[in-house]
Structure 1
Amino acid sequence: MAIADNRQRLMPLPDDLLPGRCQTLAYPEAVILVNPELPELTGEVDDKYQYSCENKDNQVHGWICFKPLVGFWQITPSDEFRTAGPLKQNLTSHVGPTTLAMFHSSHYAGKDLVLSISPGEPWKKVFGPVFIYLNSASNGEDASFLWEDAKMQMMAEVQSWPYSFPVSEDFQKSEERGNVCGRLLVKDRNISDDYILASGAYVGLAPPGDVGSWQTECKDYQFWTRADENGCFSIKSICTGDYNLYAWVPGFLGDYRFDAIVNIISGCDMDMGDLVYEPPRDGPTLWEIGIPDRSAAEFYIPDPDPKFMNNLYANHPDRFRQYGLWDRYADMYPDTDLVYTVGLSDYRKDWFFAQVVRRKDDGTHVGTTWQIKFKLDKVDRSCSYKLRVAIASATLAELQVIANPILNIHLLHGIMKD
């Protein structure tokens, strides 16, 4: 199975997941391989959720057969029809060999992404097309050629989007769509008196809504791109209709939304000029834990329990996908909870990557209380001080924040698994 350059492995066989060949873990999709066909997989965890991928990266995945050397690939040239924006996680491939084209899913998000159509409400949407690609190599060639060739084909399909062959009038062709370009700047006087280039910003068009509403939007189309180092962006082949333009800039808190509705008509080339995002701020930053980039990757990710290893993710950037890491918090803090001291603690080592519950001996769970300790040498009582919390993801969770009279802040977390 191959999902990315660094996410490829020999997979268990379907029979390896039958009773007696594996041990089921906390949920039926996750198992320990007890007696697999490939002995080298014995003792490893397999879990289809470990092979999930963000929409923005989910363009080609599939399988390689070694005898004969053939590849089976699913290529998705555009994620415009997928829901909830570029960072939404979706399943890709798993034991089967199974290849999934996930168009709509509430995985990792919960009921907010369950599609709801009211009685009598008109609704239609084109999902896809996706491209199934088969390739082969001569005996003796390196099997990696098949993956590299599939990536080349993926890039060709991206250039061919939108396809011209669908006959449905609901699938708009290239000449029926429009384009938008512009430049995004950041205005933050507590950092610089000059405008800051929104380098690497995510910029997208999604149905009109509140700031950040694209994260739970699941009925219509979304079109996203990343700005270059100068904050310049270009979004091409946008379906006609009304949109808001949304954006966020890694390293800056909050969401941007252009106030006016953006109306895309056939054949338009709209230059929106310079757009300015002013992050929420009431004064200079006194302290900050982590990086506001919609990820917890910079925080402390523990090693998995040796009993629950998937060797694909050993020393891997995506090691957070290892099974059972939520229980490692209780191993590290069996009796007391995390205490972080600003100026002394290091979030790369001292801030656990997920706020989780603690399991009690009777099988129930209790929330955990984290503390942030900090000292202010001088307090201006005529000013307001704000704590801003950026949450990468939350499902069935409650966050309580309590500040005591001496400005120690306690974070109370309770997260239940669906």
Structure 2
Amino acid sequence: MVDGEVQVLKKMGWNRSCWLAILLQFFLLAQCAVHRRQRIHKNSTSDDENYYPPVQLHLLEDHVVLDNGILNVTLSTPGGMITGIEYNGIDNLLEYEYKENNRGYWDLVWSKPDHQADVFDKLEGTDVYVITEEDNQVELSFVRTWDSSSDTGLPLNIDKRFVMLRGCSGFYSYAIFERLEGWPDVNISQGRIVFKLQHNLFQYMAVSDDRQRIMPTTHDREKGLVLDYPEAVFLTNPDNSFLRGEVDDKYQYSSDNKDSRVHGWICTDPATGFWVITPSNEFKTGGPVKQDLTSHAGPISLSMFFSTHYAGLPLIIEFRDGEPWKKVFGPVYMYLNSVLPDEDPLTLWADAKEQMLLETEKWPYDFPLSDDFPYADQRGTVTGRLLVRDNYINERLITANGAYIGLAPSGDPGFWQRENKGYQFWTESNALGYFVIKNIRAGNYSLYAWVPGFIGDYKYNIQITVLPGSKIRLRTLVYDPPRNGPTLWEIDIPDRTASEFFVPDPNPMLMNQLYVSQPDKFRQYGLWDRYTDLYPEDLVYTIESSIYQTDWYFAHVNRKVDNKTYVPTTWKIVFDLTYVDELSNYTLQLALASANEAELQVRINDETTEVPHFTTGLIGRDNAIARHGIHGLYWLYSVDVPGSLLVTSTNTIFLTQSRGLSPWRGIMYDYIRLEGPSSNNQTQKHK
């Protein structure tokens, strides 16, 4: 934390008049501390549970209250909106100034294919059912069933579940979405849970160890100046003067799925934490490196299940020709914690991370009572080893160290990053390439992988059928990454991001102080215009003398001519060849980390030719440049380069992003490599 934030926390202070109430609450939690993180079994009668009050269900006229003595949660009936969370002496952690259906809720964004206007649906239930009401557990179901005779509304059956367990300092939620065969076509672009906390209490947000800070409120943003798009606001007169002159944008706090297991907010008086914990990503779309929102100014915390963020149209869930579907999203855990008044409130983050690890270890949970959620004994395991064969690097097989390996519905290699209807199960291989994929739902899958340090995607050529309780051991798998010849030169290392390239300092008038000294300063606002500031002439990269960490801009963007005009740019790669085989083909490997309404054209040694040697055509809608991401969807192109286009001396490859008009049209490169001919009797040399 910077000194300014420490001073802000001191000024906020603690109200000691609440000390006794907090102490009593802490005593209850401390009494349960040894046991609270143990698994709670549905029908357990162990003596340990005597430490906790039983879970109670209070039925009111138009609400229902779940109460386990640590916290209580109020839900509207039959809608299933979360209207109140009482904990640690706070009557309601949610913003009570908002309407009851705008505090905590599930929602979907959907549209009809022939009518593209989005419908924002908060999935209000029409019936509520008590699934179980026991001392150890209460589970409620809020249901909305689609009327197939009406042909209106979202053609989806909704079953929202809320679970409270004895002794747990939080509550769980999951949902089952279902379509029956023959139902109308529909597009669904987003699904999530939203929590809007009290703005006068929760002012400190934590997304990761190095991304946490005092945040502006919704009111601060309303008083600010909207920048290039509504999400980005320049804070002109925030209540907290420490924030004046900063830029706030919710996309600055996005994370990859694999890195987004816990995030939330801290209230300092009384010291209280609210956290969204995701114990598994099996129900999320787009794989482990799909990016999405976490928490952001409001204060708001989200559990994002799927969206088009950082991906675009490929991740719209499209149902056509009466396709049936059913999927369980969650459970996710809303965890609450607290400390005594004389303890540091920031220790709540460390405790939340510990709780996240415990929740992850308990996955799959043994308490959800939907038949659609399989327990551990109904799931399978797949093990194996992945090696890489690249004879131009090593004549022996190479261990796939740190490879991402996963099961997902069947498709082409790389399909997993655009897959959006099924379940995915991912792991990372160890240093020797061995991997274990656990807790797999029964079903048919393809096995996919990608290996840092190598381009392309691997797919196992045999479908894998996982049965309940099955343990599948695969033979040693070998990945042959795309390659047609020896490396003549390369730029960067392949890892599917542009993070190793040069990221500039932001405009000093448009900064988020959090990222001034952070390695991920690509999250700063307005970096698309910094290219124009820093490169009065377009980028030129000379092999052997240029350094990609300082000389290759992280995003190939358009040049700003005036406040409204952006024009395409052409980058040059200059290299020498001491020998050229004019009768053979060379290969230019272009790995892209992101593309947004872009077209990459390649010309060889002649910038003026009207028809490029190669073009990607119009690609991408991931919008990662505008949304401060260092990657979106991955693209790979292997471009044939006839030797007749090269010369024995200095050569230039011209890379043109030909689509102008917008500051956010552009691409991010992951890795570029020029390969010589594959003939073994040709010796390629380069300077």
Same fold (TM over 0.5): yes
The answer to whether the aligner puts 1:352 opposite 2:553 as a matched pair is yes
Aligned to 1:41: 243
- After TM superposition, give the deviation of residue 118 of structure 1 in Å: 0.8
Which has the higher relative contact order, 1 or 2, with Cα contacts under 8 A spaced 6 or more apart? 1
Aligned to 2:432: 230
2:397 aligned partner, one-letter code: Y
Aligned to 2:625: none
Aligned to 1:288: 490
- After TM superposition, give the deviation of residue 320 of structure 1 in Å: 0.5
Where does the alignment leave 5 or more consecutive residues of structure 1 unmatched? none
The SS at the match of 1:385 is strand
Where does the alignment leave 5 or more consecutive residues of structure 2 unmatched? 1-204, 606-644, 666-687
The answer to whether the aligner puts 1:87 opposite 2:253 as a matched pair is no
Among residues 209, 212, 220, which one is paired with 1:16 in the alignment?
220
Aligned to 1:367: 568
The answer to whether the aligner puts 1:413 opposite 2:668 as a matched pair is no
Aligned to 2:590: 389
What does 1:94-105 align with in structure 2 at a 5 Å threshold?
94-105=296-307
- After TM superposition, give the deviation of residue 33 of structure 1 in Å: 0.5
Aligned to 2:173: none
Among residues 169, 172, 185, which one is paired with 2:374 in the alignment?
172
2:235 aligned partner, one-letter code: L
Deviation string for 1:366-408 (max 9, x for gaps)?
2111111111111123432100011011122111111134442
Aligned to 2:539: 338
Q: Is the 8 A contact 1:109 1:395 kept in 2?
A: no
Task: Say if 1:24 and 1:362 are closer, same or farther in 2 by CA, change over 3 A.
Answer: closer
Deviation string for 1:278-333 (max 9, x for gaps)?
11111111100111100111100000000110011112021100000011001112
Aligned to 1:205: 407
Task: Say if 1:40 and 1:362 are closer, same or farther in 2 by CA, change over 3 A.
Answer: closer
1:395 aligned partner, one-letter code: N
CA distance in 2, matches of 1:127, 1:394: 29
CA distance in 2, matches of 1:201, 1:175: 27
Deviation string for 1:174-200 (max 9, x for gaps)?
111111111111111111111111101
The SS at the match of 1:101 is strand
The SS at the match of 2:251 is helix
The SS at the match of 2:233 is strand
Aligned to 1:270: 472
- After TM superposition, give the deviation of residue 240 of structure 1 in Å: 1.2
What does 1:74-153 align with in structure 2 at a 5 Å threshold?
74-153=276-355
Among residues 523, 530, 535, which one is paired with 1:321 in the alignment?
523
The SS at the match of 1:103 is strand
CA distance in 1, matches of 2:376, 2:598: 43
The SS at the match of 2:219 is helix
Q: Is the 8 A contact 2:315 2:418 kept in 1?
A: yes
CA distance in 1, matches of 2:556, 2:402: 28
Q: Is the 8 A contact 1:200 1:227 kept in 2?
A: yes
CA distance in 1, matches of 2:446, 2:216: 45
Q: Which runs of 4+ in 1 moved over 3 A?
A: 414-418
The SS at the match of 1:116 is strand
CA distance in 2, matches of 1:142, 1:164: 34
Deviation string for 1:5-42 (max 9, x for gaps)?
00000001111011xx2111000010110000110110
Aligned to 1:187: 389
CA distance in 1, matches of 2:464, 2:656: 41
- After TM superposition, give the deviation of residue 69 of structure 1 in Å: 0.6
Q: Is the 8 A contact 1:211 1:256 kept in 2?
A: yes
The answer to whether the aligner puts 1:256 opposite 2:458 as a matched pair is yes
1:189 aligned partner, one-letter code: N
CA distance in 1, matches of 2:601, 2:263: 40
The SS at the match of 2:509 is helix
The SS at the match of 1:158 is helix
The answer to whether the aligner puts 1:2 opposite 2:2 as a matched pair is no
Give the TM-score taking structure 2 as reference length: 0.59
Deviation string for 1:67-109 (max 9, x for gaps)?
1111000000001111111111100001111000111110111
2:228 aligned partner, one-letter code: A
Q: Is the 8 A contact 1:356 1:414 kept in 2?
A: no
1:378 aligned partner, one-letter code: Y
What does 1:24-39 align with in structure 2 at a 5 Å threshold?
24-39=226-241
| Higher fraction of strand | 2
Q: Is the 8 A contact 2:485 2:587 kept in 1?
A: no
CA distance in 1, matches of 2:507, 2:516: 12
Q: Is the 8 A contact 1:248 1:254 kept in 2?
A: yes
1:412 aligned partner, one-letter code: T
Q: Is the 8 A contact 1:226 1:233 kept in 2?
A: yes
CA distance in 1, matches of 2:411, 2:515: 38
Q: Which protein has the larger Cα radius of gyration, Structure 1 or Structure 2?
A: 2
CA distance in 1, matches of 2:285, 2:443: 17
CA distance in 2, matches of 1:362, 1:146: 45
1:353 aligned partner, one-letter code: F
Give the TM-score taking structure 1 as reference length: 0.97
- After TM superposition, give the deviation of residue 414 of structure 1 in Å: 4.2
What does 1:303-318 align with in structure 2 at a 5 Å threshold?
303-318=505-520
Aligned to 2:89: none
Aligned to 1:378: 579
Q: Is the 8 A contact 1:50 1:322 kept in 2?
A: yes
Give the % identical residues.
56
The SS at the match of 2:214 is coil
The SS at the match of 2:530 is helix
CA distance in 2, matches of 1:357, 1:202: 33
Aligned length: 415
CA distance in 2, matches of 1:253, 1:237: 29
Aligned to 1:60: 262
The answer to whether the aligner puts 1:159 opposite 2:355 as a matched pair is no
Coordinate RMSD, CA, aligned: 1.2
Among residues 494, 504, 519, which one is paired with 1:302 in the alignment?
504
CA distance in 1, matches of 2:483, 2:293: 37
CA distance in 2, matches of 1:280, 1:383: 18
Among residues 418, 428, 432, which one is paired with 1:216 in the alignment?
418
Q: Is the 8 A contact 1:177 1:239 kept in 2?
A: yes
